[in-house]
Structure formats: structure tokens, C-alpha cells
Chains A and B, each alone.
Chain A
Amino acid sequence: MNFISVGFQTLLYKETLRFWKVATQTVAAPILTAMLYLLIFGHVLEGRVEVHGTSYTAFLIPGLVMMSVLQNAFANSSSSLIQSKITGNLVFILLPPLSHWEIISAYVLASVVRGVAVGAGVFLVTAWFAHLSFVAPLWILVFALLGAAILGTMGVIAGIWAEKFDQLAAFQNFLIMPATFLSGVFYSIKSLPPFWQAVSHFNPFFYMIDGFRHGFFGVSDVSPWTSLAIVSVFFAVLAAIAVSLLKRGYNLRH
């Protein structure tokens, strides 16, 4: 495997250029959506709710940033693959001598680039609304990158699995969206009844957001090391599934 081959670099460049050419849709729009979440939830709950000893708006901002990172990382790889499959231009990726490692690495890294770009944009436009601290910036970076890589890999799996746009939409609406919204973006799971707290611990997205938020405030619902371990294992499992699907040519090479 050669991760820095010209083929890999080209596919990474293409996948990055693809979303950048439509940045209004792929970068600006999700930043605006996150901004609206902040304005609405911040307006309603600021002064009424305090989490981890910080204001609700300050608590919400890292959650929105991470949610944007995750959703856009998923959207990048999944939409690129399904569009290429349905329009038939995936053949341009399947005909050259690209290995499954090169293909998955390029798609996932491009997803990370988009996820982080959107997350950085969301942070830049929302950071003005609250005083944020950066207790452990390395955790912020680690969870942002790992979370984006996980969702980029899930996007690859969904893009390979789906044969129609509505199958991909189902994956997004019935799996990614609920898992993200129920992960503690808008609340601390400690505010939930014990049963739902327990359920939240089975949601890997919870650990990504909790660990990310730990980097800002230095406090979290679970230890960042625990989150890192769980998220890393989750990534390894997803990466193994994605590599296996690509290697077998599942839904790609018939």
C-alpha cells in the first residue's frame, strides 16, 4: 500500500476540488444552518440553562461545531460515491490501478478536509457569541479529526451500499441524524433520566462530541481517554468494513 502515491494524491485532490467547486452548498450552507441553531437555541435557553458550570451558548458552540464536522464529513464521501455510481462516472476510479487502500484513504481524507473546513467556519462565526476557553486544544484536534474520519468512512460504506439516492437518504435520516442529535450536541447527558443516559453510552457519536467538548472546558460526561478508546475502536471496525467492501468490489465490481 502506498498512501502518498500520485493516484492517491490525485483522488484526494479531486474529491477536495469537487466540494470546493460548490462551496456555497457544501461549506457556506452548513455554516449558516449551525448559526441558525445557535441563534434559536441560544436565544431560548441562554440564562435558563447552565452546563458544566458554563453558559448554555458556550456549551452549545463546540457541540454545533462537532455536529457540523460529522455531518459534512459523512455527506462528502457518501454523496460523491452515490453520484458517481448513479451517473456512471465511478468507472474513472475503477479502471485505473488504484488500490482499495488508496481509494478509501482519499475519500476519507477529503471528507476530513470538508468536515474540518465547515467546523472551522462554524467556529469562526459562532465564537463571537460566547466566551470560550481552550483547556486542552489537542483533544479538540484529535476528536475533530477522528470524528471526521469516522463519518467519512461511514459515508464510504453508505455510498458503496446504497444503489439509489433514497437509500442514502434513509441512511442519513434514520441513522446519522438521530445518532448526532441524541449524542449531547444540545445537552449534557447528565440532564437525562438514567435510562436514556445508559442508552446514550451505546451511541459512539456521544463519545466524539463529549471528547471534543472536553478540549474546550476540561470537563466532560466521561473521561476523554475512555472516549478516545471507544472512538478509536469504532473507527477501526468501520475502516475494516469499508476496506473489506472495497476489496470485494461489493456493489462496485459485479
Chain B
Amino acid sequence: MTAIQITNVEKSYKSLKALGGVSLSIEEGEFFGLLGPNGAGKTTLISTIAGLIRPDAGTVAIHGHDVVTDFREARKKLGVVPQELVFDPFFTVRETLRLQSGYFGLKNNDKWIDEVMENLDLTNKADANMRALSGGMKRRVLVAQALVHKPPVIVLDEPTAGVDVELRQTLWKFIARLNREGHTVVLTTHYLEEAQAMCQRVAMLKSGKVVALDTMSALIRRISGSQLNVHLSSGDVPADLRHLVSHDEQGHGNGNGNGNGGKRPGSSYSLRVNEYAEVEQILARLRESGAVIDDMQLQQADLEDIFLQIMDKGTV
């Protein structure tokens, strides 16, 4: 079943086109990443999903319920952690969570509230006023508020912005558990290593448009491939492999951890590899040509490389 269906969503603010016809389909149970630089339209898209922004054109549906025309059902199925660190200064943590439960039509929800607080290390702050909490603690309460009604779809808009390692670990452990239990998770973050570790599928936005949409593994494989770094103590890369060379250094330290920082004889090359099977063919061809390999490393492209590549090119 489709958890979130976004169809041709457009949104403009005067002359600024925040979203230019975004279409996405996020399946139930997915851990989905929404990435992009500042101003790409991520928060506008999330606000549209949450019903906080009304699109100029297009539709958004949560579990088949349109967020505008069938907003009650759509919102019941959605929990959103907003990016801004907002709180109501009149209430304690427990009051805040009980009120949020009530807004979603839930009475006597203390068992789940206690469990959420326990999982987010908030239990000993349950009776503290929101004003008395640190920024990290307030962020935890925001996450807890989004989860009080056990929404099948959880949207996290930069949930770890400006928070410490402990909260990140606590948060990701809990969110990963919810995802394993079947909750769909949509994440926006500037921490790409988090997205790479957590997300199964990713959409990248640039200037209000989707410029990449794929599974994490396919995105890494298809867009950037891997780099085979070799150091040749003698010989050279044959002409028929030259088109794979992305970088070469003659007679320099290879930077691969020999630690002397000085020059060493030979040459270093980086060759693009699309599939692992090509590695053996390249090594065999180098040996055939008389080159002597004295060091090699296969370097996997990471999400940051891909992100930079896509943002630079603007499209896949």
C-alpha cells in the first residue's frame, strides 16, 4: 500500500517557485529520505504533506486520504516532527503529551505516553515545565508529540539538527524500531551519513524539483560507482584503460596511509568501476601490460559524493 502519494504538487510564494510539480510515491514501511540543500523545497513539501501549506496545484494523500479534502483521516495517520524547536511554555512534558494525545482523539493514553518517554529518555523530565528543558530535551518532546497517536506514517524534518550524539543514538534506535514494526518513516536531514545509514530510498530535491529518486544502494551504484585506487611501482595504465582514469599522480605519496607524507616511486591512479566484476578484469589487464601493483584500495562512493554530484549537475 502507498503510504504517501504526492502528485504534481506545485507551490509558489510570489515569484519564488518553492515546489515545481513534485511527484513521489512512498510505500508503506519504507524508511525514505528527502534530501536537498537549503531552499530546495524539503520543508515546503513536508508542510504540504502535513496540511500546513496548501498547494497551488496537485494532491497529497496519506494512506489514500487526501490531506485537504479528507484531512481528518489523513492527519490521524501522520505524525510530524517540525524543524523549529517549538513548545508551549504553560505545560509540563506529561501535560504536553496528554494534550497532544487528546487532540488526536485519544483518552487514557498514558501507557503509550510512558513508553514513548521511556524510549526517548524523558521519563525523569515528565513533570518538568517545558521552559525548564534544554534544547535537546525539547527536541525529544517534539519527537514524542509526533508519536503519541502511534501514526503509521512518521515525518521527521531535520530531527537531529543541533542535538548531541546521545539523542541521535536514542532517537535513531527508537525510530528504527518503529520502522521495523511497520511504520513508514520520512526523514529530511543535512547529515547525509544519517540518511545513508537509515534510509532505504532517497529523493533529492533541488529548486523545488526532484532531481534523483532511487534506492540508496542503486543511487550509490548507478550514479557514482566505485573508485579503484592503485599504486604502480613500475609500468603504466595501458591505453585501453585510460578512459576509466579519473585521477592520476606521478611519483607522489599516495595518501593511502603510508604516513611518511613524502614522495615514493611510481604512480597512483583512480579508475572508475561500475561493477565489482570489472575490478578483476582491470587488475588482469594491468598485469598483462607489465605494470606492477604494490598498493590498491576499492573505495565505495558515499551519499555525500552522490549528493554533491547531483546538486552540481542539477539532474541525474
Contact = CB atoms under 8 A, between A and B. Distances in A.
B90 A96 contact: no
A95 B73 contact: no
Interface string A4-37: 0111011101100110011000000000000000
B51 A10 contact: no
A14 B99 contact: yes
B132 interface: no
B105 A5 contact: yes
A91 interface: yes
Contacts of A249: 54
A97 B90 contact: no
B103 interface: yes
Contact of A21 (B53, B90, B99, B105): B90
B103 A92 contact: yes
B76 interface: yes
B86 A91 contact: yes
A98 B103 CA distance: 7
A53 interface: no
Contacts of A172: none
A131 interface: no
* Range for the number of chain B residues in contact with chain A: 20 to 34
A150 B88 CA distance: 26
A193 interface: no
Interface string A94-111: 111111000000000000
A84 B89 CA distance: 10
A14 B103 CA distance: 10
A97 B54 contact: no
A96 B104 contact: yes
A5 to B, nearest CB: 6
Contacts of B265: none
A7 B73 CA distance: 14
A253 B54 CA distance: 7
A191 interface: no
Contact of B87 (A6, A89, A94, A95): A89
A88 to B, nearest CB: 4
Given A14-B99, A91-B86, A97 B105 contact: yes
Interface in B65-102: 71-76, 78, 80, 82, 84, 86-91, 95, 99-102
Contacts of B179: none
B52 interface: yes
B88 A92 contact: yes
A7 B102 CA distance: 5
A95 B105 contact: no
A7 B52 contact: no
A7 B105 contact: yes
Nearest to B103: A96
Contacts of A253: 51-54
Contacts of B107: 6
Contacts of B99: 10, 13-14, 92
Contacts of B86: 87-89, 91-92
Contacts of A7: 102-105
A10 B97 CA distance: 11
Contact of A95 (B50, B72, B84, B101): B50
Contacts of A94: 51-52
B267 interface: no
Contact of B145 (A17, A88, A92): A92
A10 B102 contact: yes
Interface of A: 5-7, 9-11, 13-14, 17-18, 21-22, 84, 87-89, 91-99, 249, 253-254
13 contacts: A6-B106, A7-B102, A7-B103, A84-B88, A91-B82, A91-B86, A95-B50, A97-B74, A97-B104, A98-B103, A99-B72, A253-B52, A254-B47
Given A6-B102, A88-B86, A95-B75, 11 more contacts: A6-B107, A14-B91, A17-B91, A91-B82, A92-B88, A92-B145, A94-B52, A96-B100, A96-B103, A97-B71, A253-B54
